[in-house]
Structure 1
Amino acid sequence: MSGKAEPRAAGERTTTRARLDRGRGALGPALELVHTGRAPTRAVLTAELGVTRATAGAVAAELEALGLIRVDARPAAAAGSQGRPSHRLDVAEEGPVALAAQVHADGFRAALVGLGGRIVATAPGCETVAADPAKVLGSVVEAGAELLRTTGRRCVGAGLAVPSAVAQPDGLALNPLHLAWPVGAPVRRLFEERVRAAGIPGPAFTGNDVNLAALAEHRHGAGRGARDLLCVATGHRGVGGALVLDGRLHTGSSGLALEVGHLTVNPEGRPCHCGGRGCLDVEADPLALLVEAGRTPGPEVSLLKQADDLLRTRYDDPAVRRAAEALIDRLGLGLAGLVNILNPDRIILGGLHRTLLDADPSRLRAVVADRSLWGQSGGVPILPCTLDHNSLVGAAELAWQPVLDDPLAALR
């Protein structure tokens, strides 16, 4: 008997190894499914990957051994269900994190973000931004490095969100006007240098803040499940847009696609810094709402917070309502033009635009439908963004991407 037991054990080890070898190419896709919440159980993972249950089990076990996911082999059965419930899969709460940083017109913030888009820790945000990008990025990276020291978490890399078009592959911020940074500031290089100097491991990435917000919302928020997703949002100043096509962020040939802020929505409107007049960027941002409502912006809090608070607390004021309706009409006109060109299956709105949608959703949807070629029959769902700090989460997604592509290579 003992002579037969040994070959059988060796055969079992060979079979397990073979299953894992076959599934090694599925590690990245499997991790992405768990990361985005699309594979809550091993049964769903098996079906989504198109592999055997044994191979899916080996893949899940390897991801758990890497400290990336948690497998619950004994989940509680739902009331009234029959049969043994499938193993539950979730991201590892104590697993690695990515360092995320965001700079905007009214300050900067650093955070640690785990798989699943979970913000694990944040540093207190700074409310002033120096005109020297190297100084600002040094400060935000140091804040992130302190978070890593305090928490003791393993870091897979770093991502930065900035309120500017970022030309690729050089990583130059082409229009950081609201930051008073020089045009063409080499933000990617500066960020990488500060990350390396702080001893933070892993690659470093940089992207436009609205692009990264769209990426985060598509994976974890209001855009989940959309094939062609249009995101339009206000930052603390200006208006940005982003597009996810066939499930992937579309940035164009050099990272500069979808500068929606410079759509003309009011030909007789305010001069824009681009040289035009009446652009969405200056006709539908927080400053535009405050000016339209006859309010003098104060220096004590951000323009975005002032505009949000005005809409939420004083919407019954006729001047505020008229200002909101004017911005809604301009935003709707811009969205209709984008719908005609892009034909998205979902639109999500962030920043002040989310608050405008909450204030009068029927008006905005009616303007878009009236101005769209397809009218009511081609109505596109318009939804508010749902993630807090979605640009930060999106910056972390950049750092997580190499791990999602090849977990073994990235972590070893």
Structure 2
Amino acid sequence: MPHTPTTRRAPDRGRSLLGPALELVHTGRAPTRSALTAALEVTRATAGAVAGELAALGLVTVDQHPIGSTRGRPSHRLGLTPEGPVVLAAQLHADGFSVALAGLGGSLGEPVAHPLPARTDPVSLFGAIADAGAGLIRADRRRCLGAALALPNPVRLPQGTAPAALTFGWPGDTPAAALFADAMAAQDLGPRTRRPLPTAVANDANLVALAEHRHGAGRDARHLLLVTSGHRGVGGALVVDGRLHTGSAGLALEVGHLTVDPLGRPCPCGNRGCLNVETDPAALLAAAGRASDPAGQLLDPAGQLLDPAGQLLDQARELARSAGRDPVARAAVDQVVDRLGLGLAGLANILNPDRIVLGGLHRDLLAAAPERLPEAVIRHSLWGRCDQVPIVASALAHGGLVGAAELAWEPYLANPQLVAG
């Protein structure tokens, strides 16, 4: 008997649209039912049925009072349920960690910052993060569906291992994903939390890029390059057509180890003059002549050792902001900006992005040198001379946490019906 193609029934087709529809509302691209209809390229009835099913899952609200003029058919507003489920977002920094609960739409609760525990081995660190996160989950009456952690080091995929955790000196290929999952499973998460709780870990720069693309300065960019410097070092990520480019093993876009001065400062990776050590907070302070001890650790004006994690970033940002009134700060900013421009030009030559977003200290450097930095990129970039790439500051105050929330929401954006599980 010849095979006869079958036609999928309308309800099945509607369910297959749940994920794309939720992502459209989640990213603000479908604020009304008519916008959802156009974006999904379906009939009004199908879009209404999809929105209704998302509402039944407790994820989306449909305003029953249509908006629009008296001409044509008014549309219903679509929103995200304020009391809907949440996920736990966590981020590990060189000087501490932070946790927050996050709803859909990039909605982040007030982050809670914690100092590092006395021991910084991965088991101790992940245990402290899980304990702090569990406290937030128990104290909230909304249902928690997942947890994700942003790490300041590469993460190998799909294994979820940290091949080189230079910040804390962890052993190579530390099983970060498994350890975080175990730490969360050992917590009392209260009666409203999904069990077993899905967990995930990823590189922090990757997650910041994802957050900026969906909710910040990278909206509508097709090829978004993010470069950022936090407490220490430089990270980067690339988002292509809405998806992170992670390479064959999740280790792509380690932009911090692009050489910009072969005779420059030594980098923890073993090379010299990496973007990682030529454009981070320590590099800016050193360019301003801040004293250092024989080991290269920066000292404050009284000769006391600066906290290499927390104070460095704060002081570097203050230095960048003072460039307009302080000649020493101006010279330091210009030196580091020229190094940064050289690195961005090399990346632009290779990746050809249509937007570059700068975060962390690099955002302050752009503000301090709004003309010099783009000019440096144009000067050294093949394509920049004929097709200038927009360079903009990041828009999210807690991009790493927002990105971690995106990672935790990923299974539900792909299949919203998992919420009912």
* TM-score computed with the length of structure 1 as normaliser: 0.91
2:61 to 50, 56, 70: 70
For residue 225 of structure 1, the aligned residue among 187, 196, 220 is 220
CA offset digits 1:285-318 (Å, max 9, x no partner): 0111111112335339432222112222454211
1:70 and 1:90 in contact (8 A); partners too: yes
Q: Is the 8 A contact 2:279 2:339 kept in 1?
A: yes
1:42 aligned partner: 33
| Cα displacement (A) at 1:369 | 0.6
Residue number in structure 2 paired with 1:407? 416
- Which has the larger displacement, 117-126 or 100-109? 117-126
**Distance 1:122-1:129 versus aligned 2 partners, 3 A rule:** farther
Q: CA separation in 2, counterparts of 1:37 and 1:211? A: 21
Contact 2:263 2:273 in 1 (8 A): yes
Partner amino acid for 1:409? L
1:357 aligned residue (361, 366, 370): 366
> Which one-letter code corresponds to 2:231 in the other structure?
H
Q: Tell me whether 329-338 or 374-383 shows the greater mean CA deviation.
A: 374-383
Q: Deviations over 1:81-138 (max 9, x none)?
A: 7455310111111111111111010110111111011102432332567321111111
Q: Does the alignment pair 1:51 with 2:48?
A: no
Equivalences for residues 196-275 of structure 1 within 5 A: 196-198=185-187, 199=189, 201=194, 202-275=197-270
- Judge which range, 40-49 or 177-186, deviates more: 177-186
Gapped regions of structure 1 (runs ≥ 5): 1-17
Matches within 5 A, 1:304-319: 304-313=313-322, 315-319=324-328
Aligned equivalents of 1:312, 1:170: Cα separation in 2:
41
Contact 2:121–2:168 at 8 Å: present in 1 too? no
- The reply on whether 1:371 has 2:366 as its aligned counterpart is no
What residue is the counterpart of 1:86 in the other structure? 75
Please give the alpha-carbon distance, in whole angstroms, between the structure 1 residues aligned to 2:342 and 2:118.
33
Offset, 1:142: 1.3
Opposite residue 226 of structure 2, the aligned amino acid is: C
> Of the candidates 110, 128, 134, which is equivalent to residue 123 of structure 2?
134
Give the alignment partner of residue 61 of structure 1, picking from 48, 52, 57.
Answer: 52
Q: 1:97 aligns with which of 65, 86, 102?
A: 86
* Compared CA separation, residues 275 and 34, structure 1 to 2 (3 A): same
SS at match of 2:371: helix
Supply the distance in 2 between the matched residues of 1:312 and 1:211 (Cα, whole angstroms): 27
| Counterpart residue type for residue 169 of structure 1 | P
- In structure 2, how many angstroms separate the alpha carbons of the residues matched to 1:314 and 1:376? 27
SS in 1 for 2:113: coil
Find the aligned partners of 1:74 and 1:66 in 2 and give their Cα distance.
21
- Contact 2:102-2:405 within 8 A present in 1 as well: yes
How many angstroms apart in 1 are the aligned matches of 2:16 and 2:45?
Answer: 15
Deviation at 1:271, TM superposition (A): 1.1
| CA drift at 1:177 | 1.3
Q: What is the letter of the counterpart of residue 38 of structure 1?
A: R
* Partner SS for 1:223: coil
Are the counterparts in 1 of residues 90 and 149 from structure 2 also a CA contact under 8 Å? yes
Structure-2 residue corresponding to 1:177: 166
1:330–1:129 Cα change, 3 Å:
farther
Residue 15 of structure 1: aligned partner: none
Q: 1:336 aligns with which of 341, 345, 369?
A: 345
- 2:67·2:76 contact (CA, 8 Å) conserved in 1? no
**How far apart in 2 are the matches of 1:281 and 1:263?**
8
Which residue identity does 1:215 align to in structure 2? L
Contact 1:251 1:258 in 2 (8 A): yes
Q: Is the Cα–Cα contact under 8 Å of residues 129 and 136 in structure 1 kept in the other structure?
A: no
Picking from 330, 334, 356, the partner of 1:347 is 356
Structure 2 vs 1, CA of residues 318 and 391 (structure 1 numbering), >3 Å: closer, same or farther? same
Give the counterpart letter for 1:161 in structure 2. Answer: A
Name the CA distance, whole Å, in 2 between partners of 1:148 and 1:60. Answer: 28
TM-score by length of 2: 0.89
Match of 2:18 among 15, 21, 27: 27
2:109 aligns to what SS in structure 1? strand
Question: Quick one: structure 1 residues 93 and 371, their matched pair in 2 at CA, closer, same or farther if it must change by over 3 Å?
Answer: same
Give the AA of the match of 2:391: I
Shift of 1:178: 1.8
Q: CA deviation at 1:406?
A: 0.6
Gapped regions of structure 2 (runs ≥ 5): 1-8, 291-298, 301-305
Query: 1:184, 1:87 → 2: CA distance?
Result: 50
Deviates more, 1:134-143 or 1:343-352: 134-143
**Kept after mapping to 2: 8 A contact 1:163/1:235:** no
AA in 2 matched with 1:132: D
Confirm or deny that 1:327 pairs with 2:336.
yes
Secondary structure at the aligned position of 1:172 is classed as coil
Give the stretch that moved more between structures: 87-96 or 168-177.
168-177
Q: Could you tell me how far 1:328 is from its partner in structure 2?
A: 0.6
Residue deviations 1:5-30 (CA, integer Å, cap 9, x gap): xxxxxxxxxxxxx6543311000000
CA deviation after TM superposition for structure 1 residue 180, in Å: 3.2
Q: CA RMSD in A?
A: 1.7
- Count of residues in Structure 1 that have an aligned counterpart in Structure 2: 393
3-state SS of 2:167 partner: helix
The question of whether the paired residues in 2 share the 8 Å contact of 1:106 and 1:128 is answered with no
